[in-house]
Structure 1
Amino acid sequence: MGQPNAMTKLKSYAKKTKQNLFVLYLSYKDNRVPWYAKAVAICVVAYAFSPIDLIPDFIPILGYLDDVILVPLGITLALKLIPPYIIEENRAKAEEMKRNGKPKNWVFAIIIVLVWILLALWVGKLVYGLLNR
């Protein structure tokens, strides 16, 4: 067999990224994970599944750079903040859940909506405070 082609590599990378996002979600729910790691993990998961990007996808080339660069960097950072034994346990849980049926996407949707609402409230409070000086 020859070298895997670019499409095979890309599919493998996408699958690994999706799995790591689910591991981060499971780690967010784990009580043994420090609060700061949970904060980074949930922000990365929410951003990855959010339809809202820092750079909109309709902007040629730049629109996809945030998905290709920011999400993997966020995943890497979050995974480094979580103790390795917890990551391995949650990776095993994720595999088990995958074998028994895919996780429900509505859980991710609820988290994304909550994160964006909280972000909007925070920005609104900042703007309101600046305007009322």
Structure 2
Amino acid sequence: MNISQRLKAWARRIKRDSLTLWFAGKHARTPWYAKALGLFVVAYALSPIDLIPDFIPVLGYLDDVLLLPGLIWLAVRLLPPDVLRECREQAEAWMRMNGAKPRSRIGAVLIVVLWLALAAAAGFWLAPHFR
């Protein structure tokens, strides 16, 4: 297996596991802490807006390459094995039927709110320096 095939397989697993977390968030036997982290990760993964915009050199892709896969890995590890298996099967079936990943408007709103909160915090922090 060459590098290109490995990267494609890795990207497919990331996509599958983000959908797995989406289904796990609705599952009755998912612990609350796994639901909380999983739903945050899903909202962020499916959001059309990134926390670190991609046009920022190098840093713009860090969330796509390191942060998001790390959070997905952690959230998946928090799921009970039977719930994980069941939700992965649902994710595989959804991917076969729909192909493209869904979009999350809630995730986009969360990212915009986070950016606004960071901008407000920076404004309050910088305001005394401009008086």
User: Normalising by structure 2, what TM-score?
Assistant: 0.76
- Asked which structure has the greater RCO (Cα within 8 Å, sep 6+), the reply is 2
Whether the 8 Å CA contact 2:20–2:91 is kept in 1: the answer is: yes
Q: Which runs of 5+ in 1 are unaligned?
A: none
Q: Which runs of 5+ in 2 are unaligned?
A: 125-131
Q: How does 1:98-117 map to 2 (within 5 A)?
A: 98-102=95-99, 105=102, 108-113=103-108, 115-116=110-111
What's the CA shift for 1:52? 2.6
| Root-mean-square deviation (Å) | 2.6
Equivalent residue of 1:26, what SS?
A: helix
Distance across 2 between alignment mates of 1:21 and 1:114: 18
Match of 1:27 in 2: 24
Corresponding residue to 1:85 among 82, 86, 100: 82
Q: How does 1:1-133 map to 2 (within 5 A)?
A: 4-102=1-99, 105=102, 108-113=103-108, 115-116=110-111, 123=117
Whether the 8 Å CA contact 1:23–1:94 is kept in 2: the answer is: yes
Whether the 8 Å CA contact 1:34–1:82 is kept in 2: the answer is: yes
The alignment of Structure 1 onto Structure 2 pairs a total of residues equal to 121
